Amino acid sequence: MTRYVHLFSDPPTTQVKELLGGKGAGLAEMTRLGIPVPPGLTITTEACRAVYANGGAWPETLRAEVLAALAVVEEGVGAKFGDTTQPLLVSVRSGARVSMPGMMDTILNVGLNDATVEALAARTNDRRFAFDAYRRFVMMYGGVVLDVDRHLFEALLNDLKRSLGNPIMHDHEVPVASLEQLVKSLKALVLKETGKPFPEDPHDQLWGAVAAVFESWNSKRALTYRRMYNYSDDWGTAVSVQSMVFGNMGDDCGTGVAFTRNPSTGERMLYGEYLLNAQGEDVVAGIRTPKAIAAVSSPRGREAESLERALPEVYAQFVAVAARLEKHFRDVQDIEFTIQRNKLWLLQTRNGKRTGRAAVRIAVEMVDEGLITTDEAVLRVDPTLAEQLLHPRVPEPERLAKEGIFPLASGLPASPGAATGIIVFDADDAERTAKDGTKVVLVRGETSPEDIHGMKAAQGILTAMGGMTSHAAVVARGMGKCCVAGVSDMHVDVRAGKLVVRAHGGTAERTFVRGDVLTLDGTHGKIYSGEVPVEPATSVPGFDRLMSWVDGARRMRVRANADTPKGARDARAFGAEGIGLCRTEHMFFAADRLSAVRCVVLAGTPEVRKQWLAKIEPMQRQDFVEIFRAMAGLPVTIRLLDWPLHEFMPREPAEMAQIAAALGESVDVITRRAEQLHEINPMLGHRGARLGLTHPDIYGTQARAILEAACIVSAEGVDVQPEIMIPVVALAGELTRIQATVRAAAEAVFAECKLRVPYLFGTMIELPRACVVAGEIAETAEFFSFGTNDLTQTTLGVSRDDAGHFLPDYLGEGLRVLERDPFASIDRDGVGAMVRMACERGRSTRADIKLGICGEHGGDPYSIAFFEEVGLAYISCSPFRVPVARLAAAQATLRQKKS
């Protein structure tokens, strides 16, 4: 029989995290280590899965198991759930196998009713505390479990405060009689809203809370979060039922969260915030501004507020526990704790989220500390976060000040980076506005999990409230988005759509409305009006060492897609080991060349075309010369022309006239010829190899330019490794015929130059048919480079240009037909299967065929793992993404080795 419940002190022997969730597993492990954890039990994720599988019905044995475990807890704590003299109160919390901050609902103080509250008051000798806990419980339970609008509860609380003459009084200032009255009003509200009285029976409360946690697994915000990180919906959540401890029983109480290292910079220091006399969610919810834990982290002159000074013994104990946990788990820990009457209780420990910059520094330092191996260090850095390291940033405020640019206001540097965009005040607006490419900055009083989609769509997030561990800060760092939080000089009126900023050090106010442009500096916590010029990323401590381990660990080579000499040099600077895709058509975008190309396309006869090709050839040759020099000793894959011809067409009458004059033909004739080039489905049109075959002089000229350049640079003593690549091949015969043209051009050039340069001849694999007949194609092709962009379009029958009409729906919650955008991450089952087939068939013909990929998936970590699996020799991506790709490739190799 499946066991659904485990005491913290009696965890399962295997799959601990999968069954208990991250939170449950952490609590169990801390209990094992003898660290003070309030006793409790965890209902496994398996129970959650069983509930969903059975359409909501609970496994038969679940209740009995929970009660049995609860009895053990009761005995340990010396209290009894529902008892009217020694009542046990519990928290009910969710916990999936990976931490999903703020995603799941938590209910505290379960077990309170009109009888047990009196017992609590009596035992704590603090009636006000007892009734404050009670009203918190009713509000939380009413909102989360009974689905009553929380604002209605808050309105009652605010009415009460107002009736007391002080609308802004702290909760703990409300007199006890009023709290008793408030509980009655809250319950009446529940009866009115739900038609049923608030549950008095503690067991009814408990089962209701557990059910609510199960349900919250499929809440919209949880789904959105899982979508964003591609977590499986099948995992389910565990539920931890833990005996309550209280941080709000007086000034010898408190609650806080801490990271064992700075999650923004990676600096090795205890980094955290706490609040005295506060309960659970108060810190992370951002309602009160928390204080630093360490004195050294406090603002100057306010060191006394730190935990270190306020409760020095507890502080010392906490420092020791934190260090022990980090060492034990061999990673930065994100810890929640509560202090109840000077006693420290640990409520959670988990691996802490961190910025890319912090991840690099922490990984490298932990290697130096002997905590982890270099391979582990490589695996510790999320490649998508690594990318943010390379993002541009706003210059130092001091530097800007010299240029007369001053920040509008300052806040917490909650997540580094730079963001410029128009401001919007709600998440839906952010999503809608960003859809068409408009850059937006999401401005909120504070963010909540409901804002996730807006945060995702925004360039950056700005909140008036909240600290470094507030929702906005944590989520933004996880996303690698810039965030400035806790800007106290700023007021957000969401309903009126206004942001009012009190200018630095003055009383003057500036008001911004939706559509105004702001720039955020998340690295320094500054806000600027309008657009501020950004500067390239600065170096990250440890980055080069980490990358040296990365390069040692990975099997696949990483090349870059670059079309110009400058691009080639940039790529090499980013660590590219060659060019995987040089798109010759991109070499024609310069205005002077474009005219010549247009004349090639619109020439009336092969002879005229040849004349114009002759003008282009030297330009191309010179480009290749410089690219080959920049890439000395590394392979350069050059793709011969692949343009939908009409893309090069002049659109303006003046341009048309110019081309007509150049060709010595009438505008009418040229216009008609241009019209004939129009295609209904240009993606599936007269492109690539097709063009090369119907206009063989074009590919002949290009081959000549490439090989002449190769000879020139080779004669300089440089190692040149050209690879000539034919695009859009569907038929083996296309390639053999083009090969004849290319080889002939090569032999002619070599004869003229009295020099031979070894080169490879190969093809893009970007059509399903090419995958099917890859074995035949490999008879001619010395290499394959997968063009997964086009292969995705043809395999799925989806035009990337037009997919906007339905792909967002496919990826959205409503339909969820697709887990991932197939243009961002390779569609393993479809496109991936085609790639795998082509690899196998290609190798069966030519065992040593060189296999690579140059589609945009080449820079995507998820896809890179797949390319490692099928054994590609290299991946190629945009220069900027090369470091990400190197890291992802190394991780793929290491993970492949493990499995």
Q: Does 870 bind a second copy (CB under 8 A)?
A: no
Stretch that binds a second copy, among 60-68, 151-159, 581-589, 725-733 (CB under 8 A): 725-733
Determine if 789 is a binding residue for a second copy (CB under 8 A): no
Q: Quick check: 790 binds a second copy (CB under 8 A)?
A: yes
Question: Measured between alpha carbons, how far is 411 from 861 in angstroms, rounded to an integer?
Answer: 33
SS (H, E, C) 183-219: HHHHHHHHHHHHCCCCCCCHHHHHHHHHHHHHHHCCC
The tokens for 628 are: 């080959």
Q: Which of 299, 294, 298 is nearest to 318 (CA)?
A: 294
Question: Of 48, 599, 711, 854, which residue is the catalytic one?
Answer: 854
Whole-angstrom Cα distance, residue 342 to residue 330? 29
445 vs 466: CA distance, rounded Å: 9
Q: Does 871 bind a second copy (CB under 8 A)?
A: no
* DSSP-assigned beta bridge partners for residue 876: 559
* Selected range binding a second copy among 127-135, 396-404, 628-636, 801-809, rule: CB under 8 A: 801-809
471 is catalytic: yes
Contacting a second copy (CB under 8 A), which of 767, 774, 777, 781? 767
Binding footprint of a second copy, residue count (CB under 8 A): 50
Could you say whether residue 768 binds a second copy (CB under 8 A)?
yes
Closest approach, Cβ 780 to a second copy, in A, equals 13
Q: Which residue has the tokens 């015969």?
A: 733
Report if residue 642 touches a second copy, rule: CB under 8 A.
no
User: 758, 805, 848, 899: which one contacts a second copy (CB under 8 A)?
Assistant: 805
Shortest spacing between CB 667 and a second copy, in angstroms = 23
Among 561, 794, 825, 891, binds a second copy (CB under 8 A): 794
> Of the two residues 76 and 696, which places its CB atom closer to a second copy in the complex?
696
Quick one: which segment of 74-82, 344-352, 410-418, 810-818 binds a second copy (CB under 8 A)?
810-818
Distance spanning both ends of the chain, measured CA to CA: 30
Q: What is the dihedral of CA 159, 160, 163, 167, to 10 degrees?
A: -70
- Tell me: does residue 831 bind a second copy (CB under 8 A): yes
Binding residue for a second copy (CB under 8 A) from 320, 809, 813, 896?
Answer: 809
Query: Per rule CB under 8 A, is residue 597 in the interface with a second copy?
Result: no
Give the nearer residue to a second copy in terms of CB position, either 373 or 676. Answer: 676
For 288, the token pair is: 């009160």
Considering the complex, what minimum distance in angstroms separates the CB of residue 561 from a second copy?
21
Query: Which pair of structure tokens corresponds to residue 542?
Result: 């440890």
Could you tell me if 501 and 409 are in contact, meaning their C-beta atoms sit under 8 angstroms apart? Answer: yes
Instruction: Say if CB 213 and CB 16 are below 8 A apart.
Output: no
Structure tokens at 679: 């295609």
- Widest distance between CA atoms in the chain: 104
- Tell me whether residue 380 or residue 828 sits nearer to a second copy (CB atom): 828
Q: What is the 3-state secondary structure (H, E, C) of 146-168?
A: CCCCHHHHHHHHHHHHHHCCCCC
Question: What sign does the CA torsion over 290, 292, 297, 301 have?
Answer: positive
Q: Which of 504, 752, 817, 895 binds a second copy (CB under 8 A)?
A: 817
Q: Quick check: 734 binds a second copy (CB under 8 A)?
A: yes
Distance CA 9, CA 29 (A): 8
Beta carbon nearer to a second copy, 621 or 841: 841
According to CB under 8 A, which one of 7, 656, 730, 882 is a site residue for a second copy?
730
Active site residue 854: yes
User: Of the candidates 261, 228, 272, 415, which has an alpha carbon nearest to the alpha carbon of residue 351?
Assistant: 261
The nearest distance, CB 832 to a second copy, in angstroms, is 9
Interatomic CA distance for residues 877 and 77, integer angstroms: 58
Residues 6+ apart with CB under 8 A from 467: 273, 283, 286, 289, 290, 412, 473, 485, 486
CA distance 4 to 511: 56
Query: From residue 270 to residue 309, what is the string marking binding to a second copy with x (rule CB under 8 A)?
Result: ----------------------------------------
Least Cβ distance, residue 644 to a second copy (angstroms) = 9
Task: Please say which residue, 570 or 790, places its beta carbon nearer to a second copy.
Answer: 790
Q: Cβ of residue 784: shortest distance to a second copy, in angstroms?
A: 16
Which structure tokens are listed for 582? Answer: 């040089």
Catalytic residue among 6, 253, 453, 471: 471
Binding a second copy (rule: CB under 8 A), the pick from 12, 101, 830, 871 is 830
Contacts to a second copy from residues 651-710, by CB under 8 A:
677, 679-686, 690-691, 693-694
Phi-psi label, residue 604: left if phi above 0, alpha if psi -120 to 50, beta otherwise: alpha
Closest to a second copy by CB, 491 vs 646, is 646
Is the separation of the CB atoms in 9 and 27 below 8 Å? no
Q: Give the contacts of 544 (CB within 8 A, at least 6 positions apart).
A: none
Given the rule CB under 8 A, which residues bind a second copy?
677, 679-686, 690-691, 693-694, 728, 730-731, 733-734, 737, 766-769, 772-773, 776, 790, 793-799, 801-802, 805-806, 809-810, 815-818, 827, 829-831, 833-834
Catalytic residue annotation: 471, 854
